[in-house]
Chain A
Amino acid sequence: MTKLNNTQDLITYVARLGDDAIVFGHRISEWVSHAPFLEEDIALGNVALDFIGHAQMYYSYAAKLSNEENTNATPMTEDDFAYLRNEREFQNHLINELPNGNFADSVVRQVLIDLYNKLYVDALKKSKDKTLAAIAEKSSKEILYHCRRSQEWMLRLGDGTDESHQKMQTALDNIWGYTHEIFELDDTEQCLVDAGIAVDSTVLKTQWLQNVTAIVEQATLSIPTDKWAVRGGREGYHTENLGHLLTEMQFVHRSFPGAKW
C-alpha cells in the first residue's frame, strides 16, 4: 500500500473516533436542564464535555494530518470536521446518534458505550501512532469516572422499582441491536489494525460482554437475545436521527461562518 493511502485511511479512522465522540457528546448535552435533579444535570454536563473534548482531540489530529497531506489547500481545523460536514460524511457508530429517549434509555446506552470505551481506549494506548496513544492516555482517566457513574445508575434503576426495572429492560432490548456493529471492522480499519495503529475491536467483544453481563445481572436485568442488528454507521449510512442532531449542532456555525466573540 502506498503512503498516501495509509495517511488517508488514518485520517478517516481518526475522524471516525471523533465522530463517535462528538455525536454522543452532543446527545448527552441535550439532557442539560432536563435531568432528573440538579446534581445529575451537572454530572451529565460534565460527561458531555468530556466526550466533546475527546472529539476535539481527534478532530484536531485529523485536521493536522489533512493539512500535512494537502499543503496547498486552506488549512483545516477541528471545527471543519465538526461543523462543516454533512450527514453522509459522518461515520459514527449508530448507537451514538439514537435519541436520548427516557432516562432509562440514556443510562443503558451510557453503560454500553462507557464499558466499550474503557476497553477500546486501553487498547488504543498501545497504538503505534504516538498521537492516538496520547489521546487514549488522556481520555482513559475520564472514562473511569464515566463507567462508575453509569453503572451506579444501572444498579439503582434496574434493581429499583417495578417500573424503573421494566423501563431499563425495555431500553436494553431496544438498544441491544445497535451494539453489534461497534465490534466490526471494515477494510480501512483492518489495514490500520494490521499496521498496529487502530484497535481491533473484534477481540474486545468477549470481555465487553462479560463486563456488561456482570452489571446487567447485578441490576437484576437480563441480556437480550441477539435477534437483530443494525449496521452502516462506518459507511455513512445513518438513522434519520443524525440529520436532526447535526441541524441543531451546526446551525450557529453555518449561519455565521467564522464568527468570533
Chain B
Amino acid sequence: MIIPTKNLYQYEREKFRRNSSIPELWQLLDEVKDPEIPVLSLWDMGILKDISKQGNNIIVTITPTYSGCPAMDIITEDIQGVFDINDIYECTVNIELSPAWTTDWMTQEGRNQLRSYGIAPPNDVINGEAGKLTNETQVLCPHCKSTDTHMVSEFGSTACKALFQCNQCKEPFDLFKHI
C-alpha cells in the first residue's frame, strides 16, 4: 500500500493559499496554464507564489522556472488576460527570483497530470539522485510504467526536460528534470 505523503514545501504552500483573504483570485488563476505544458496550471507548477491586493491593484508574484525560460513573458500576459476578461484591470505581475524555484514545489496533482500527459515528473526517477542524471538513471515510463528505460540526452525539448527512451515500449519520453 502506498501512503500518500506531502513534502513540507507543499504543506506550507497549501496552507498559505488556504489562508488567503482572496481565494476567488487564486481560483481564477488556476485557469492560467504553462504555455509549454498546457495541462499544468501556475499553481500546480509551483511558480505562483502570492496574490495580494493593494487598493484596486492586484499584485501577482511568480517565480521563473529556468532563468532563460521564454514562457515567463507569455505567462505574464496570460495572467493579465484572465484578469481582463473578469473585469479586473489593475494588475501588476512581479517576478521574484529568491528563493529559487524548485520542482519540489510542484503539486501532487500537477505531477499526476504531467505523467498522464506523457512527461515523467521529477520524482519518477527511481534510482540515484533525481537532480543528478547519469547514464544509469532509470525513470518510470509514463506510457507503459516500465522502469527499463535509458537516458538519450540530459537536455530535451525545453530547458526543463531531459530526453529518455523506454526499452520496453520503445517510446521516447521527456523527464521533467529535478532542479
> What is A's interface to B at a CB cutoff of 8 Å?
25, 39-40, 42-43, 45-47, 49-54, 56-57, 130-131, 133-135, 137-139, 141-142, 144-145, 148-149
Contact = CB atoms under 8 A, between A and B. Distances in A.
B36 to A, nearest CB: 13
Could you say which of B66, B97, B131, B159 has the most chain A C-beta atoms within 10 Å of its C-beta?
Answer: B97
Given A134-B98, A135-B97, A137-B99, A56 B155 contact: no
A149 B97 contact: no
Contact of A42 (B100, B153, B179): B153
Interface string B63-102: 0101111100000000000000000000000000111110
Contacts of B97: 57, 131, 134-135, 137-138
10 contacts: A47-B155, A53-B66, A53-B69, A56-B67, A56-B68, A138-B64, A138-B97, A138-B100, A142-B66, A148-B154
Interface of B: 64, 66-70, 97-101, 131-133, 152-159, 163, 177, 179
A92 to B, nearest CB: 18
Contact of B155 (A43, A52, A54): A43
Given A39-B153, A135-B97, A46 B159 contact: yes
Contacts of B152: 39
A142 B99 CA distance: 15
Given A39-B163, A137-B100, A138-B98, A53 B156 contact: no
Contacts, number: 75
B68 A49 contact: yes
Contacts of A45: 155
A241 B19 CA distance: 56
A149 B154 contact: yes
A53 B158 CA distance: 14
Contacts of B156: 42, 46
A139 B101 CA distance: 11
A43 B154 contact: yes
Nearest to B134: A148
Nearest to A135: B97
A251 to B, nearest CB: 20
A11 to B, nearest CB: 18
A54 B100 CA distance: 13
A142 B67 contact: yes
Contact of A43 (B67, B133, B153): B153
A69 B157 CA distance: 41
Contacts of B154: 43, 145, 148-149
